[in-house]
């Protein structure tokens, strides 16, 4: 099941239909803090917004342009650092209102990407991925070596409420920061969306699909890649500026491979084939990391497992799955799928429960070995990982679950193909 | 003053390492002419196209477009100068719809280029050109289908369409009817004739029916050399051509 | 002074050859299958850890032979049941698969062996000074490492250049479809190359894990450099990988040995900068601390000159 994106011409009457979701999104953004008012929730929403912008900028390269940039976090970080310096300047009396900081970040991102792009834009897909990785490593090392500019291990921090007030707001409170961050995020997303509908945006799709042919249609593919790279750097830098506002600190960790890996995860899980995929991924992964991180130590391996499983069986990501099923739901053939899909549930539940059990116990063992506390529950069940019994149970659950899946999945896939067969154009 | 030929190849050599693929190729294509290139497999026909369109550099020789030396120019420069090509192995933008494929093909020429400050849909001439092309190719009903999902004959039609939509004056078609049925071939030939009206056409083909139907002049390429060149009637009777195609056996039979 | 230099050169050679063992497998895998194997350094790490366990329960020589085999078999299994399934979804998906795999291997290693470095030691039979340079004793084990690496190079080169299998592999490097149409079982060749590449990485882990350090961070530390080497040497080229590995090995070792600030070094070659000026941070960098950056700077320079690397074959 792969995601295909069909683009149609846009008659003016459906312009409204295109922009309705954006209006709804704006409404949602405005109203969210009223529904989820706690400090934790607001901070989470900000994080999601920043991650969404970053993931969208990453997908400009990956999903739209076919370029795998492993160093993308560099532009977020460098934009963020520039914004932090501007924030410091504002604290020192310069007139730089906090809402203008994302622009500073964008500027930092653009300039750095213009330089970085010169190095990488000529490379083909495989080499591109490797070079961007190398470039990112080099820049992380450089950042740590220049403490005056980048604050060494502690990074650069400043006070977002220490700048000039705008309309009586000083942006110190979380909710004021939320409105700045989310408005900018919405604007950035809208701009990136419009970009996909410009000639350059379409050209990047063409380069993704067939760079050679593009060369025979009058364009230099390397030049197209370079331009796209600069734009995606702009938006990544903007995300960095947003992060500067939200966290009031940027460190070398924000540039490194962890951040780069995180955005890759988000974009991929959400789905690279649609515009909204990265947003879905950003929201889900941020939620997962916040939620899982407090409950278990095993989230790193869950990350990896989810990643691998999605690559194997749902490479179009969540939005790909939605796209594969939306037409069926719309024309009513969706109910044909229910029986076979439902039959896969027991296998799913068992396999997941068993795997989670195994992982949790493994991590508990590791923490015990490291001197941590014994006893207590694994998640919510009393189980002692130092005895054999729970391991056997979990292993059996996993094996049976996988076996059930192996048996019930092919008919489910067959049902989907049968149901979609009637909807082909 | 004699008007220079649309396309002129002088003394073109191409070797890959120790292998000579093209040797001393001389071809003249007059403006507005329909010129076919035929020859047994491995004769170097596709390589010739690669050289003309700037994909590979020449080992020796010169290529002129309307009198201007285009030897060694990049492929995108050559396109901008007015030479467009189609490919023997279908080379489309698989994830884009038919309509979008055509739009991309025409963007450069109609002033859209690398523009990022204006929405694509605002370029009306672009939309109209793509619509026009859709109609000519007979693909209006499949305008929203991703190119990768089209039926083979439709893909080949789009392949030709991509070469034409930019309005190039010199069109190079590489085996446009390869793999087509009798009926599809007839449709393709009618299409080619229609869209290359008034333009210069250089076409590589294996289907002799198509060749004799379309071509004003034919050049025969065998073993990297042009062994015959002239109007179809001349080439048809040329014994060297028969030998090249059928081998020495043909000589004993006739 | 000469002794210092000789020491540095020797160490650089050792490190460079180690990089070669890692990058030779990777360059074949990337060059032939187009798969950016992110898990390559993870297999290196696995090799070291498995060798640790084997050498403490049995002995080092068993580990030397068995550990790479285990890693190779693991790699072959991953290719056959994982990569091959992902192959139809494109290069990007393959890359992401290996990325996720690297994450998982990293975690599993920590779960089995813990987060702290493990005491994987040089075997006593090889733990003696072989010769001395300027008063410093040079360990025999380092020479053993050089020996193993060179031996692997010779074997690899001969296998690729002289055997029929090697011919098939080399052909598949540039024209896998053609090779398949000629009747060779290309999927089997892929599995072999992937498994072989991983085995080589594992072997590198076996001999390096005890000379340097065996800890969960070793994959990350080397991962990026190996990619730089592969790109520099040209995808698919074994000799390019050798060349690039040794250059990087030497350059890196020399930089680490230079405990000098940048402005002093520049001064030595005649470029005078103001150490207290605007870029004081930059001039104040000691070269030995800048060492991690050097391979990538080199990579950038080489690529700026020739996007295909030093000896590239397949650029796609």
Going by pLDDT thresholds of 50, 70 and 90, the confidence category of residue C74 is very high
C-beta separation of A324 from A416 below 8 A: yes
In a domain, A376, yes or no: yes
Min mean pLDDT across A134-143, B67-76, B139-148 is at A134-143
Is A119 in Cβ contact with C292 (below 8 Å)?
Answer: no
Going by pLDDT thresholds of 50, 70 and 90, the confidence category of residue B67 is confident
Is C220 in Cβ contact with A301 (below 8 Å)?
Answer: no
**Residue C288's pLDDT is what?**
67
User: Taking CA atoms, what residue in A is nearest to C235?
Assistant: A127
Mean pLDDT, range B54-80, rounded to an integer: 90
Mean pLDDT, range A183-203, rounded to an integer: 94
Min mean pLDDT across A52-56, A159-163, A302-306, C63-67 is at A159-163
Distance CA A206, CA A201 (A): 9
Verify A-C touch: 3 or more CB pairs within 8 A.
yes
Query: In chain C, what are the helix, strand and coil shares in percent, each to the nearest 5?
Result: 75, 5, 20
In a domain, A322, yes or no: no
Which residues of A fall within a CB distance of 8 Å from B53? 216
Chain B neighbours (≥3 Cβ pairs under 8 A) are A
Q: Please, what is the end-to-end C-alpha distance for chain B in angstroms?
A: 45
Give the closest of B76, B93, B115 to A219, CB-based.
B76
User: Taking CA atoms, what residue in C is nearest to A62?
Assistant: C92
Is the domain of A90 the same as that of A206?
yes
Distance CA A45, CA A29 (A): 9
Cβ neighbors of A77 (< 8 A, separation 6 or more) are A143, A240, A250, A252, A254, A255, A259
In a domain, B131, yes or no: yes
Chain A neighbours (≥3 Cβ pairs under 8 A) are B, C
In a domain, A3, yes or no: no
In a domain, A161, yes or no: yes
Distance CA B180, CA B210 (A): 12
Q: How far is CA B248 from the centre of its chain?
A: 31
Distance CA A112, CA A106 (A): 10
Per the prediction, chain C carries an average pLDDT of 81
The encoded tokens of residue B62 equal 């010169």
Distance CA C29, CA C23 (A): 10
Going by pLDDT thresholds of 50, 70 and 90, the confidence category of residue A142 is confident
Which residues of A fall within a CB distance of 8 Å from C290? 141, 145
Q: Which ipTM score applies to this complex?
A: 0.88
Checking DSSP bridges between strand B19-29 and strand B7-16, what pairing results, if any?
A: antiparallel
> Using one digit for the tens of pLDDT, what is the confidence trace for C292-315?
777 777 777 777 677 666 554 443
CATH of residue A301's domain is 1.10.3470
Which range marks the domain in which residue B206 is found? 7-251
Closest-CA distance, A404 to chain C, in angstroms, reads 19
B152 phi and psi angles, rounded to 5 deg: -55, -50
Q: Which residue has the higher pLDDT, A17 or A79?
A: A79
Is C107 in Cβ contact with A301 (below 8 Å)?
Answer: yes
Cβ neighbors of A388 (< 8 A, separation 6 or more) are none
List the single best residue of A3, A5, A9, A271 to mutate versus B (max B Cβ within 10 A).
Answer: A9
Verify B-C touch: 3 or more CB pairs within 8 A.
no
The encoded tokens of residue C197 equal 């590449």
Distance CA C138, CA C8 (A): 11
Closest-CA distance, C139 to chain A, in angstroms, reads 31
**Residue A425's pLDDT is what?**
39
- Reported as half-sphere exposure (CB side, CA atoms, 13 A), residue A21 has a value of 9
Is the domain of A352 the same as that of A285?
no
In a domain, B1, yes or no: no
* Packing angle of the helix pair C218-233, C238-257 (nearest 10 deg): 120
C-beta separation of A182 from A270 below 8 A: no
Q: Helices (H) and strands (E) in chain B — how many of each?
A: 10, 10
CATH of residue B116's domain is 3.40.50.300
Which residues of B fall within a CB distance of 8 Å from A10? 121
Give the closest of C85, C235, C282 to A126, CB-based.
C235
Mean pLDDT, range C175-203, rounded to an integer: 83
Distance CA A77, CA A259 (A): 9
Q: What is the pTM of this model?
A: 0.87
Cβ burial, residue B29 (10 Å; 0-12/13-18/19+): buried
Which residues of A fall within a CB distance of 8 Å from C30? 126
**Residue B2's pLDDT is what?**
62
The encoded tokens of residue C225 equal 């450099």
Is the domain of A269 the same as that of A216?
yes
Distance CA A265, CA A308 (A): 10
Which residues of B fall within a CB distance of 8 Å from A210? 91-94
Is the domain of A61 the same as that of A163?
yes
Is A220 in Cβ contact with B115 (below 8 Å)?
Answer: no
Determine contact: B111 vs chain A, CB below 8 A. no
List the single best residue of C107, C234, C289 to mutate versus A (max A Cβ within 10 A).
Answer: C107
* C234: nearest Cα among A126, B232, B186, A327: A126
Could you give all domains of chain C from N- to C-terminal order, each with its CATH number?
A: 2-305 (1.10.3470)
Q: Which residue has the higher pLDDT, A251 or B253?
A: A251
Cα dihedral value A80, A81, A84, A85, nearest 10: -140
DSSP A159-210: -TTSS--BTTB-S-SHHHHHHHHHHHHHHHHHHHHHHHTSHHHHHHHHHHHH
* A1: nearest Cα among A301, A341, A255: A341
Min mean pLDDT across A371-385, B181-195, C7-21 is at A371-385
On the question of pLDDT at C253 being above 80, the answer is yes
Distance CA B40, CA B56 (A): 22
C-beta separation of B203 from B35 below 8 A: yes
Distance CA A142, CA A252 (A): 10
Is the domain of A64 the same as that of A163?
yes
Highest mean pLDDT: which of A147-151, A348-352, C269-273? A348-352
In a domain, B2, yes or no: no
Going by pLDDT thresholds of 50, 70 and 90, the confidence category of residue B251 is very low
Query: How many structural domains is chain A composed of?
Result: 2
Interface of B with A in 145-164 (CB under 8 A): 145-146, 148-149, 162
DSSP C260-276: -BHHHHHHHTT----TT
Determine contact: B17 vs chain A, CB below 8 A. no
Closest-CA distance, C228 to chain A, in angstroms, reads 6
Determine contact: A130 vs chain C, CB below 8 A. yes
Q: Which residue has the higher pLDDT, A199 or A14?
A: A199
Query: How many structural domains is chain B composed of?
Result: 1
Which residues of C fall within a CB distance of 8 Å from A300? 103, 106-107
Q: Please, what is the end-to-end C-alpha distance for chain C in angstroms?
A: 46
**Residue C111's pLDDT is what?**
86
Residue position matching structure tokens 């009618």 = B190
Give the closest of B53, B112, B119 to A216, CB-based.
B53
Min mean pLDDT across A28-37, A369-378, B204-213 is at A369-378
Distance CA A106, CA A240 (A): 8
Min mean pLDDT across B31-40, C24-33, C263-272 is at C263-272
**Residue C278's pLDDT is what?**
61
Distance CA B168, CA B191 (A): 16
Distance CA A206, CA A65 (A): 8
Is A220 in Cβ contact with B114 (below 8 Å)?
Answer: no
Distance CA A365, CA C115 (A): 12
C-beta separation of A69 from A303 below 8 A: no
In a domain, A81, yes or no: yes
Determine contact: A199 vs chain B, CB below 8 A. yes
In a domain, B113, yes or no: yes
Is the domain of A75 the same as that of A22?
yes
On the question of pLDDT at A309 being above 80, the answer is yes
Q: Please, what is the end-to-end C-alpha distance for chain A in angstroms?
A: 17
Determine contact: B91 vs chain A, CB below 8 A. yes
Closest-CA distance, B120 to chain A, in angstroms, reads 5
Which residues of B fall within a CB distance of 8 Å from A203? 104, 107, 114
The encoded tokens of residue C151 equal 């031996």
Min mean pLDDT across A330-334, B53-57, B106-110, B182-186 is at A330-334
Checking DSSP bridges between strand B200-204 and strand B170-174, what pairing results, if any?
A: parallel
Which range marks the domain in which residue A415 is found? 331-421
Distance CA C235, CA C34 (A): 9
In a domain, A247, yes or no: yes
For residue B25, what is the DSSP state?
Answer: E
Going by pLDDT thresholds of 50, 70 and 90, the confidence category of residue A7 is very low
Is C290 in Cβ contact with A141 (below 8 Å)?
Answer: yes
Distance CA A116, CA A119 (A): 5
Give the closest of B76, B100, B142 to A202, CB-based.
B100
List the single best residue of C287, C296, C301 to mutate versus A (max A Cβ within 10 A).
Answer: C296
Distance CA C252, CA C248 (A): 6
Is A311 in Cβ contact with C97 (below 8 Å)?
Answer: yes
Min mean pLDDT across A105-114, A257-266, C79-88, C280-289 is at C280-289
In a domain, A365, yes or no: yes
Is the domain of A290 the same as that of A350?
no
Give the closest of A133, A145, A304 to C227, CB-based.
A133
Is B99 in Cβ contact with A217 (below 8 Å)?
Answer: no
* A73: nearest Cα among A136, A130, A151: A136
C-beta separation of A246 from A185 below 8 A: no
Is the domain of A269 the same as that of A366?
no
In a domain, B104, yes or no: yes
Cβ neighbors of A402 (< 8 A, separation 6 or more) are A347, A351
List the single best residue of C31, C224, C251, C286 to mutate versus A (max A Cβ within 10 A).
Answer: C224
Give the closest of A125, A130, A307 to C227, CB-based.
A130
3-state class of B19 per DSSP? strand
In a domain, B56, yes or no: yes
User: Taking CA atoms, what residue in C is nearest to A361?
Assistant: C111
On the question of pLDDT at B254 being above 50, the answer is no
Closest-CA distance, A26 to chain C, in angstroms, reads 33
Which residues of C fall within a CB distance of 8 Å from A364? none
Domain end point (choices A275, A294, A317): A317
Is the domain of A304 the same as that of A416?
no
List the single best residue of B107, B118, B165, B173 to mutate versus A (max A Cβ within 10 A).
Answer: B107
Sheet holding B7-16, edge to edge: B19-29, B7-16, B60-65, B68-69
User: Taking CA atoms, what residue in A is nearest to C103?
Assistant: A304
Is A135 in Cβ contact with C235 (below 8 Å)?
Answer: no
Distance CA A59, CA A108 (A): 19
C-beta separation of A106 from A53 below 8 A: no
Is the domain of A313 the same as that of A384?
no
Is A9 in Cβ contact with B79 (below 8 Å)?
Answer: no
Neighbour count for residue A402 (Cβ, 10 Å): 15
pLDDT over 90 for what percent of chain A? 28
Mean pLDDT, range B217-227, rounded to an integer: 87
Q: What is the CA radius of gyration of chain A?
A: 24
Interface of A with C in 314-333 (CB under 8 A): 315
In a domain, A7, yes or no: no
Going by pLDDT thresholds of 50, 70 and 90, the confidence category of residue A12 is low
> Using one digit for the tens of pLDDT, what is the confidence trace for B11-31?
888 888 888 888 888 899 988
Determine contact: A222 vs chain C, CB below 8 A. no
C52 phi and psi angles, rounded to 5 deg: -60, -50
Distance CA C146, CA A57 (A): 46
**Residue A423's pLDDT is what?**
45
Closest-CA distance, A392 to chain B, in angstroms, reads 47
Is B85 in Cβ contact with A7 (below 8 Å)?
Answer: no
On the question of pLDDT at B176 being above 50, the answer is yes
């Amino acid at each position: 099941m792969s995601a295909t994106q069909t683009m149609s011409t846009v008659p003016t009457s459906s312009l409204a239909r295109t922009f309705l979701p954006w209006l709804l999104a704006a409404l949602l953004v405005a109203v969210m803090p009223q529904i989820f008012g706690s400090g934790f929730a607001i901070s989470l929403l900000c994080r999601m917004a920043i991650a969404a912008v970053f993931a969208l900028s990453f997908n400009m390269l990956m999903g739209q342009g076919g370029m795998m940039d492993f160093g993308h976090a560099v532009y977020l970080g460098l934009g963020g650092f520039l914004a932090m310096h501007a924030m410091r300047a504002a604290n020192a009396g310069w007139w730089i209102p906090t809402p203008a900081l994302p622009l500073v970040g964008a500027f930092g991102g653009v300039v750095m990407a213009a330089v970085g792009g010169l190095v990488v834009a000529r490379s083909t897909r495989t080499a591109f991925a490797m070079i961007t990785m190398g470039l990112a490593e080099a820049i992380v090392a450089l950042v740590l070596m220049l403490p005056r500019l980048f604050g060494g291990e502690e990074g650069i921090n400043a006070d977002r409420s220490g700048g000039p007030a705008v309309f009586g707001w000083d942006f110190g409170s979380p909710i004021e920061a939320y409105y700045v961050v989310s408005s900018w995020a919405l604007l950035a997303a809208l701009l990136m969306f419009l970009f996909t509908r410009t000639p350059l945006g379409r050209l990047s799709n063409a380069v993704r699909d067939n760079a050679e042919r593009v060369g025979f249609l009058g364009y230099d593919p390397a030049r197209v890649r370079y331009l796209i790279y600069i734009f995606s750097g702009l938006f990544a830098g903007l995300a960095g500026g947003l992060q500067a506002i939200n966290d009031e600190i940027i460190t070398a960790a924000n540039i490194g491979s962890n951040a780069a890996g995180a955005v890759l995860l988000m974009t991929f899980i959400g789905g690279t084939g649609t515009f909204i995929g990265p947003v879905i991924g950003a929201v889900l992964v941020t939620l997962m990391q916040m939620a899982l991180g407090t409950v278990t130590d095993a989230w790193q391996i869950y990350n990896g497992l989810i990643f691998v499983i999605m690559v194997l069986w749902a490479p179009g990501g969540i939005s790909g799955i939605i796209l594969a099923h939306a037409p069926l739901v719309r024309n009513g053939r969706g109910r044909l799928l229910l029986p076979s899909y439902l039959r896969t549930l027991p296998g799913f539940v068992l396999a997941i429960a068993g795997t989670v059990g195994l992982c949790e116990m493994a991590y508990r063992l590791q923490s015990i070995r490291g001197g941590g506390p014994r006893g207590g529950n694994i998640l919510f069940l009393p189980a002692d990982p130092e005895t054999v019994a729970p391991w056997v149970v979990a292993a059996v659950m996993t094996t049976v679950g996988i076996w059930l899946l192996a048996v019930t999945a092919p008919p489910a896939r067959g049902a989907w193909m049968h149901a979609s067969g009637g909807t082909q154009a | 003053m004699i008007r220079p030929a649309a396309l002129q190849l002088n003394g073109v050599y191409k070797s890959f390492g120790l292998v000579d693929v093209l040797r001393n190729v001389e071809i003249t294509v007059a403006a507005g002419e329909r010129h076919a290139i035929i020859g047994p497999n491995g004769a170097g026909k596709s390589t010739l196209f690669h050289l003309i369109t700037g994909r590979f550099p020449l080992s020796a020789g010169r290529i002129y477009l309307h009198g201007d030396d285009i030897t060694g120019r990049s492929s995108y420069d050559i396109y901008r100068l007015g030479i467009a090509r189609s490919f023997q192995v279908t080379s489309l933008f698989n994830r884009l719809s038919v309509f979008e494929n055509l739009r991309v093909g025409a963007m450069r020429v109609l002033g859209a280029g690398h523009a990022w400050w204006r929405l694509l849909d605002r370029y009306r001439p672009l939309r109209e050109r793509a619509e026009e092309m859709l109609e000519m190719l007979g693909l209006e009903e499949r305008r929203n289908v991703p190119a990768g999902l089209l039926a083979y004959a439709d893909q080949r039609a789009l392949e030709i369409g991509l070469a034409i939509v930019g309005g190039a004056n010199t069109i190079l078609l590489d085996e446009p009817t390869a793999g087509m049925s009798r009926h599809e071939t007839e449709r393709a030939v009618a299409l080619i004739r229609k869209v290359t009206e008034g333009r210069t056409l250089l076409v590589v083909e294996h289907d002799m029916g198509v060749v004799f139907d379309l071509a004003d002049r034919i050049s025969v390429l065998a073993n990297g050399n042009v062994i015959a060149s002239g109007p179809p009637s001349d080439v048809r009777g040329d014994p060297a051509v028969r030998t090249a195609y059928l081998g020495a056996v043909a000589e004993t039979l006739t | 002074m000469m002794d210092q230099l000789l020491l540095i050169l020797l160490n650089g050679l050792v490190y460079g050859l180690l990089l070669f063992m890692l990058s030779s497998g990777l360059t074949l895998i990337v060059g032939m299958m187009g798969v950016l194997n992110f898990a390559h350094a993870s297999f290196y790490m696995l090799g070291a850890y498995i060798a640790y366990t084997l050498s403490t329960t049995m002995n080092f020589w068993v580990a030397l032979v068995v550990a790479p085999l285990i890693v190779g078999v693991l790699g072959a299994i991953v290719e056959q049941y994982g990569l091959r399934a992902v192959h139809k979804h494109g290069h990007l998906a393959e890359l992401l698969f290996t990325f996720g795999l690297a994450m998982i291997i990293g975690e599993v290693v920590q779960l089995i062996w813990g987060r702290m470095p493990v005491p994987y030691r040089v075997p006593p039979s090889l733990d003696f000074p072989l010769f001395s340079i300027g008063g410093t004793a040079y360990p025999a084990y380092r020479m053993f490492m050089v020996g193993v690496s060179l031996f692997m190079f010779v074997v690899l080169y001969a296998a690729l250049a002289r055997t029929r299998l090697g011919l098939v592999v080399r052909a598949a490097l540039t024209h896998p479809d053609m090779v398949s149409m000629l009747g060779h079982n290309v999927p089997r060749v892929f599995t072999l190359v992937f498994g072989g590449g991983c085995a080589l990485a594992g072997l590198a882990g076996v001999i390096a894990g005890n000379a340097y350090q065996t800890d969960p961070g070793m994959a990350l530390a080397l991962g990026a450099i190996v990619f730089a080497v592969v790109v520099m040497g040209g995808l698919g080229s074994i000799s390019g990988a050798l060349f690039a590995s040794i250059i990087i090995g030497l350059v890196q070792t020399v930089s680490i040995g230079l405990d000098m600030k940048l402005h002093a070094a520049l001064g030595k070659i005649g470029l005078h900068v103001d150490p207290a000026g605007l870029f004081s941070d930059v001039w104040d960098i000691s070269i030995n601390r800048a060492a991690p950056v050097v391979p990538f700077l080199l990579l950038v320079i080489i690529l700026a000159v020739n996007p295909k690397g030093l000896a590239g074959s397949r650029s796609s």
